[in-house]
Chains A and B, each alone.
Chain A
Amino acid sequence: MLKQIEGSHAMAEAIALCRPEVICAYPITPQTHIVEGLSAMVRDGHLTGCEFINVESEFAALSVAIGSSAAGARTYTATASQGLLFMMEAVYNASGLGLPIVMTLGNRAIGAPINIWNDHSDAMSVRDAGWIMLFAETNQEAVDLHIQAFKLAEELSCPVMVNVDGFILTHAVERVDIPDPEQVDAFLPPFDPVQVLDPASPMSMGAMVGPDAFMEVRYLAHHKQMQALDRIPEIAAEFKAAFGRESGGLIRCYRCDDADTIVVAMGSVVGTLKDMVDTRRAAGDRIGVVSIGAFRPFPLEEVRNALMGARRVVVLEKALAVGMGGILASHVRMALRGHPNRVYTLIAGLGGRPILQPSLNAFMDRVAAEPHYDVHFLDLREDVVEAEIARMAAERRSGPIAENVLRRVAALGQMMLPDAAVTGDRP
């Protein structure tokens, strides 16, 4: 059914259609509206057969989820940013125990300095935790990915994280097609766990594994993710057959045939990039976009095949590995190892800074002249960083960065956002 609906509420409706049996909730912006929506549905009787538990921390949220999933209940939770870090130990534990928990991550920056706005720092901090990590481009896809996530998680006994951009998706009101319950029931069978805590058939779960087998356990976890490389597109195809629309999959290419330049990105910014591609194509620039739908497992082969024909690949990412550079860009370089394409790292949108068409276009106009081995930052305030770098160079002990930058900005009365964002100018 088509609805004009906030992204979080659309996701809540989709999750309810998946008939979760235990939901554990702890509030953190920007995922909070999802669990609020689910709590209302449990209370008013729309979602029956479900225990909704308000816990005291994210660490407890995922721990409760671990217990209920191990005891055979379909389990859901959601978090973001600091909350994900607070539950980090349980994040690794859930995948190590092979529990098919589905968790939404309302992607948000990580402090300090504290920042509630969108980027992908939180997701990137758990990239090696053994979870399958999917990224939604639109709220429609966010809805669809949750339905696919439960199927994938339960088939592979592996937790799945559905990444949705904080605010940009979670708080955006737009048209979303919410599937019918019968459709979802037909697509997603009830949870039938392979291994369950049951007094009638006692077993020890989570026992210690020593040097004699730990390597094998980890190897097989990797093998399972490689299996997911097959299952993710198959499930997306099954989804299309059942629901009639494309959602999910490993990667998606937009106007990549014959492209000289391909931009690679994840999440909602792909929509912005598609608009940019249309504009530039109209002006004769042979450019396309590859959207990474599955970051874990990372589809090296598909990415390589999609990018091989391009002379130039610009990886736009909303995260920064401090002291190293791009994260997604490193993955793309791994996919293209041995090939002569030039891969550019373009860090953009950190802490919710808007990613604007004029800035993107300006970068694309000059990209051929830019060094591909540097890390590029979109809309970085050069005056602010240069002044701070000069100050740091002048003092032997330079002290923390954030307060110095704030002091300078306050003293100069500067706005940190690019002018276009402040004034709302659009091309």
Chain B
Amino acid sequence: MNQTVKFYQTGTLTVGNRLLDPEHRTVQASEERSNAITCGHRACQGCGEALGARYAIDAALKAADGNLICVNATGCLEVFTTPYPETSWQLAWMHSLFGNAAAVAAGVAAAQRVKGRNRVRVVAQGGDGGTTDIGFGCLSGMFERNDDVLYICYDNEAYMNTGVQRSSATPGGARTATTPAVGEAPGNVFGTGKNVPLIAMAHNIPYVATASVADLHDLEAKVTRAMGIHGARYIHIMVPCPLGWGSASHDTIRVARLAVESGLFPLFEAEHGVVTSSRPIRRKVPVTEYLKPQKRFAHLFRPDNPHGADALARLQAQADENCRRFNLLRAEEGK
């Protein structure tokens, strides 16, 4: 495919790759599809969250035949889509607080039930801070009550909206504004953090999945699958943040893909606490390929850092453990 791809947006229609030959166009190019987020938002260039949210909510809208209400936690996504006095959202959308999106969504769902609006579905969304940290209590409550809400976490592994501070989703070794790359153990402390997809599974909710902006068809399929189920559902999407990760804006998809292909971010689905599918890695790459394009890990590669090699080995061990746990290398082994 040698055709030059031009991406541009005019008016309220996302034109994108409509300039491609029809067989090369993605679903996003269709004039028929709904657009949850239209142009005019203020996300940074190369924002993984904007991309992930657009595909996730578009897929959810399609699955719900447009009957969707979306609740948004405070964070980048909320801020850049609703710059006063405008909004980029083309669906019923509500923002309340940083830590309560799951609970507000549970309330919205309760209102639909009591009003007999059975066709209206509810999605809640937030970043990793709003999900794994400050919103965790409300999220767990929504899970255990099995409220009819799909919660989507856009994970960029730190508090990006406030200037890249550590969250419980920040990986070991990563430099953030509150885990600076200085001192005896530079970057985020190893052995900390939480794996919310696994914690979600421990609630025995009907559906849990991880997804990545590196594979939008897989992401859409998982959202569609989740929308076909009632009860509490959780999708955790990795969305690189060029600003916070120190990666190039044009590398968002590449970095997200390397996270998957290294095994650091396994793609899987689980139903009622049991893993039902995982996406095999066809060509496993060393974690260093994923880490090197990101300035937040640059200190691990400095020759004067005596702990760099140890940190890299620990991250590689995590990736290897993910491959074993989710059986990600079966395609490679089958060669």
Contacts and interface: CB of A to CB of B under 8 A. Distances in A.
A and B associate: yes
A60 B138 contact: yes
Given A53-B145, A55-B141, A90-B96, A64 B104 contact: yes
Interface string B60-97: 00001011110100000011001111010111111111
A210 B69 CA distance: 25
A53 B103 CA distance: 11
Nearest to A87: B100
Interface of A: 21-22, 24, 49-51, 53-57, 59-60, 63-73, 75, 89-90, 93, 97, 197-199, 201-210, 212-213
A59 to B, nearest CB: 7
Contact of B99 (A24, A59, A204): A59
Given A59-B137, A199-B66, A204 B89 contact: yes
Contacts of A57: 137-138, 141
Nearest to A24: B107
B97 A208 contact: no
B120 A199 contact: yes
Of A51, A59, A70, A204, which is in contact with the most chain B CB atoms at under 10 Å from its CB? A204
A69 B89 contact: no
A50 B110 CA distance: 9
A206 B94 CA distance: 6
A65 B96 CA distance: 11
A190 to B, nearest CB: 11
B105 interface: yes
A90 B140 CA distance: 18
Interface of B: 64, 66-69, 71, 78-79, 82-85, 87, 89-97, 99-100, 103-115, 120, 137-138, 140-141, 144-145
Contact of B92 (A65, A90, A199): A199
A21 B92 CA distance: 21
Contacts of B110: 22, 51, 53, 64, 67-68, 73
B114 A206 contact: no
Nearest to B149: A67
A21 B114 contact: yes
A206 B70 CA distance: 12
Contact of A71 (B93, B111, B140): B111
A249 to B, nearest CB: 32
Contacts of B108: 67-68, 70-71, 197
Contact of A73 (B103, B105, B115, B138): B115
B91 A205 contact: no
Contact of B114 (A73, A93, A203, A205): A73
Nearest to B94: A205
A67 B93 contact: no
Q: List 6 tightest A-B contacts by C-beta distance, closest first.
A: A67-B107, A71-B111, A56-B141, A63-B103, A63-B100, A207-B82
B97 A65 contact: no
B84 A210 contact: yes
Given A22-B107, A56-B140, A70 B94 contact: yes
10 contacts: A53-B110, A55-B145, A56-B138, A71-B69, A89-B99, A90-B100, A199-B64, A205-B93, A207-B87, A208-B84
Contacts of A51: 110-111, 113-114
Contact of A93 (B85, B96, B107, B141): B96
Nearest to A57: B137
A93 B64 CA distance: 29
B96 A63 contact: yes
